[in-house]
Chains A and B, each alone.
Chain A
Amino acid sequence: DQQVKQNSPSLSVQEGRISILNCDYTNSMFDYFLWYKKYPAEGPTFLISISSIKDKNEDGRFTVFLNKSAKHLSLHIVPSQPGDSAVYFCAASAHQGAQKLVFGQGTRLTINP
């Protein structure tokens, strides 16, 4: 049973447009959420996070939205750039600083020029 789900295996977006990656979770004990980005032949790298006390966190072109009642979060990238093409993983944990992260399956984002 997948506690963190990314239902879109892939997403294709035109350069300059907004990319929206979605993530759903089932465990109501999750309190802290993270997004990781992964390029081919490299390990994932941390991108942005959000605590459940917030519903939005912004860092430059990247914004994460959290809807606790729906157990849903999304990552918005605007404007999308070719360098954003990568696999994006959503992850959840019981609290900030918790070491046990539960990851989703990942979404491959392709930005087309």
Chain B
Amino acid sequence: DAGVIQSPRHEVTEMGQEVTLRCKPISGHNSLFWYRQTMMRGLELLIYFNNNVPIDDSGMPEDRFSAKMPNASFSTLKIQPSEPRDSAVYFCASSRGGDEQFFGPGTRLTVL
């Protein structure tokens, strides 16, 4: 059974460019989470969805960040325009309600 799938696994881009990260949650899971990992702050929750509806986006750092979940099997996290301080590993996780969260392998983003 496939776990959470994220693409791309690595992304290198230049400052000012648009970046789109993709996530396919585990089938049957109705909650989806986007996290960012940095050395200084560890894992931070950016936003989470229940049944495709955004519930809490208080962790989204700025208006440059946006997330969508058009259907139960797909979500995107977009950064436009990207900045060097956005460089981090971005994780997507999914769960069945309040049960255990299963994380994807992450996308390592480098903004030059």
Task: Give the interface of A toward B (CB within 8 A).
Answer: 2, 4, 6, 41-46, 89, 91, 96-106
A2 interface neighbour in B35, B41, B104, B105, Cβ under 8 Å: B41
How many Å lie between the Cα of A105 and that of B106 in the bound state? 16
| Given the contacts A43-B105, A44-B103, A102 and B45 also touching, CB distance less than 8 Å | yes
Task: Give the interface of B toward A (CB within 8 A).
Answer: 4, 31, 33, 35, 39-45, 48, 50, 55-56, 91, 93, 95, 97-106
How many Å lie between the Cα of A96 and that of B56 in the bound state? 18
A to B contact number (C-beta, < 8 Å)? 58
A44 interface neighbour in B31, B55, B91, B97, Cβ under 8 Å: B91
How many Å lie between the Cα of A68 and that of B56 in the bound state? 27
B101 engages A104 (CB within 8 Å): no
| Given the contacts A43-B91, A45-B103, A99 and B31 also touching, CB distance less than 8 Å | yes
Main secondary structure of the interface of B (DSSP, over half): strand
B42 interface neighbour in A45, A46, A105, Cβ under 8 Å: A105
How many Å lie between the Cα of A44 and that of B93 in the bound state? 9
Residues of B within 8 A of A106 (CB): 42-43
Main secondary structure of the interface of A (DSSP, over half): loop
B4 engages A43 (CB within 8 Å): yes
A43 engages B31 (CB within 8 Å): no
Question: In the complex, what's the smallest C-beta–C-beta distance from B8 to chain A, in angstroms?
Answer: 13
How many Å lie between the Cα of A25 and that of B6 in the bound state? 31
B105 engages A103 (CB within 8 Å): no
A103 engages B95 (CB within 8 Å): no
How many Å lie between the Cα of A97 and that of B97 in the bound state? 8
B105 interface neighbour in A4, A6, A42, A46, Cβ under 8 Å: A42
Residue of A nearest to B98 (CB): A97
A41 interface neighbour in B50, B97, B105, Cβ under 8 Å: B105
How many Å lie between the Cα of A67 and that of B103 in the bound state? 28
Residue of A nearest to B92 (CB): A43
A6 interface neighbour in B42, B48, B99, Cβ under 8 Å: B42
17 residue pairs A–B, Cβ–Cβ below 8 Å: A2-B41, A42-B106, A43-B104, A43-B106, A46-B100, A46-B101, A89-B42, A96-B98, A97-B97, A99-B95, A99-B97, A99-B101, A102-B45, A103-B44, A105-B40, A105-B41, A106-B43
